[in-house]
Amino acid sequence: MALIAPSLLASNFLRLEDECKMLNNSVADWFHLDVMDGRFVPNISFGLPVIEQIRTATTKTLDVHLMIEEPEKYAEAFAKAGANILTVHIEACRNLHRNVQQIKDLGMKAGIALNPHTPISSLVDIIEDIQLVTLMSVNPGFGGQSFIPYTLQKIKQLSQLIAERGIHVDIEIDGGVTLANAKEIIAAGATVLVAGNTVFKSANPIETIAALKGL
Ligand code: DX5
Ligand code: ZN
């Protein structure tokens, strides 16, 4: 059974309070919040003021996925806004170890996200310092894209690396997760599933979350 982290990028922003209540009433574990700056990815989503508001609407874990350049400039502000987990992209960090320490010093769990082209081997010297790896199973920037099948091999490689070290690090899969492919993703070793469109565009999001959780 994996943790379920619905991505509010696919929610109805006009009804954000209701969407938060729906997630509160569901078996969703984390709120996955996608922050985009129009530089690291070719899209702009939402930022600090929205996350501050969401913080007042839930006690569940806020899993903040930063798709931004220079994330070190904003880590403190995201901590103040209420983030529990802060994930930065390896491709956006020149001083990744320092950034990870900063996130932990601010009292948050540290995550590292890898784009589809970034190998698992790039984590070997940092894996013991972090709590979460987010493997992008689409190119980041947009919801509603198709799952890249090669991700399954990366999940297996990462599970093996974590097992070899004898540590616990969550493996989160982000992009194109559906009810049809989630089982295979979990079997490969994923411990957290992000789901945007699959949850929010379904006829019954609460049931869809429960179905994902039941796999
Ligand atoms: C993509 C984001 C994802 C996205 C997932 O850049 O990081 O979290 O919202 O959306 P779906 O589940 O619709 O692919
Ligand atoms: Zn994301």
Positive or negative: CA dihedral 22, 24, 25, 27: positive
Measured CA to CA in angstroms, residue 100 lies from 14, 104, 110, 112, 162 at distances of 34, 6, 6, 8, 18
* Dist. CA 193 → ligand 2 center (Å): 10
Q: Please tell me whether residue 5 adopts helix, strand or coil conformation.
A: strand
Whole-model pTM above 0.75?
Answer: yes
With the most atoms of ligand 1 within 8 angstroms of its CB, the residue from 174, 178, 197 to mutate is 174
Q: Tell me the pLDDT tens digit for each residue of 49-87.
A: 999 999 999 999 999 999 999 999 999 999 999 999 999
Report the atom number in ligand 1 closest to the C-alpha of 145. 14
The whole domain housing 104 covers 3-213
* Dist. CA 9 → ligand 1 center (Å): 7
Q: Are 110 and 116 in contact (CB under 8 A)?
A: no
pLDDT band for position 113 (50/70/90)?
Answer: very high
Measuring CA to CA, which residue among 72, 96, 87, 101 is closest to residue 134? 87
Q: Measured between alpha carbons, how far is 107 from 34 in angstroms, rounded to an integer?
A: 20
- Cα angle 49, 101, 35 (rounded to 5 degrees) comes to 30
Q: Measured between alpha carbons, how far is 73 from 99 in angstroms, rounded to an integer?
A: 10
Which ligand does the CA of 179 lie closest to?
1
Check if 174 is active-site. Answer: yes
Q: Tell me the pLDDT tens digit for each residue of 90-106.
A: 999 999 999 999 999 99
How would you write 191-211 as a 3-class SS string?
CEEEECHHHHCCCCHHHHHHH
Check if 18 is active-site. Answer: no
Q: List residues near ligand 1 (CB under 6 A).
A: 7, 9-10, 32, 34, 65, 138, 140-145, 174-177, 194-198
Residue of 34, 37, 63, 170 marked catalytic: 34
Q: Measured between alpha carbons, how far is 212 from 30 in angstroms, rounded to an integer?
A: 13
Q: Measured between alpha carbons, how far is 101 from 71 in angstroms, rounded to an integer?
A: 13
Q: Measured between alpha carbons, how far is 17 from 56 in angstroms, rounded to an integer?
A: 10
Domain at 101, CATH number: 3.20.20.70
With the most atoms of ligand 1 within 8 angstroms of its CB, the residue from 67, 193, 194 to mutate is 194
Residue 111, beta-bridge partner list? 87, 132
Domain count, the chain: 1
Q: Tell me the pLDDT tens digit for each residue of 122-159.
A: 999 999 999 999 999 999 999 999 999 999 999 999 99
Q: Please tell me whether residue 75 adopts helix, strand or coil conformation.
A: helix
